[in-house]
Amino acid sequence: MENKFRPIVAKDNDFVEILNIPKEKEVPKFKKKTDLRKYLINKLNIAGDLKSEKANTVLHFGIDGTKRGIKYSNRKNQNQFFADLENIIGRALCGGFIKADYKHKIKNSNILGQDVYFASFNFNGNLYAVEIKADVFKNQKSNKYSYAGHRIKEINLDAIKNSELHTENKSVNLTPSNLSITYFKQIFKNNFVEYKEENFVKKYINTILIYIKKFLVKMKNNL
């Protein structure tokens, strides 16, 4: 049975719209990294819940996700991801689901995996591909998912101009462009799997049966 809370997953030949970030929206430059961190934490806390329109899900920006999100905020132009966050998330497409790795399972055993969203933005003539992750919890009963960090890669325009970059004219400075989901999957190399809900009733019953079996064996040995 289809889970109504799951995101709408984009097809490989769907396009991610590139958001042009105007100069007036750019994240200010700070002399101290600590000041930049304070600025971004405040900005993400204000963001709260942002909806991905095409995926029909909401990404929640909480404290834990915020700390992960600003990890690489001091790299060149990468903090501009936060400049127009509402529109970046709003235009993001869901590429699929990945299983939780060992690190996430240790941190929170209730995390089943993560949904991966793709977005793109153009800032100051440079084009960036964005991978956004959101935690998926076991027995998810809402279309609201917790933001769990992101990665950004600068796109080499010369390498894709005649292949994966689709645009009305060849300049990202003049018109919005589109990149295929296939391109994003290639550069971020995610191990996508089919999303499957755990059967908690079956799992609970099996656990009880195991304990009963162990108990009966112990009782038999004591006779």
Check residue 175 and give its pLDDT: 35
- Residue 223 class from Cβ within 10 Å (0-12 exposed, 13-18 middle, 19+ buried)? exposed
pTM passes above 0.75: yes
- Of residues 183, 198, 5, the one with CA closest to residue 95: 183
pLDDT digits (tens, 9 = 90+) for 2-23: 577 899 999 998 989 889 888 8
Domain boundaries, the chain: 15-195
| 122-145 pLDDT, tens digit each | 888 888 999 999 999 888 888 999
Per-residue pLDDT of 17-69, as tens digits, reads: 889 888 888 888 888 878 887 888 887 777 789 999 999 999 998 777 777 66
Tell me 36's DSSP state.
Answer: H
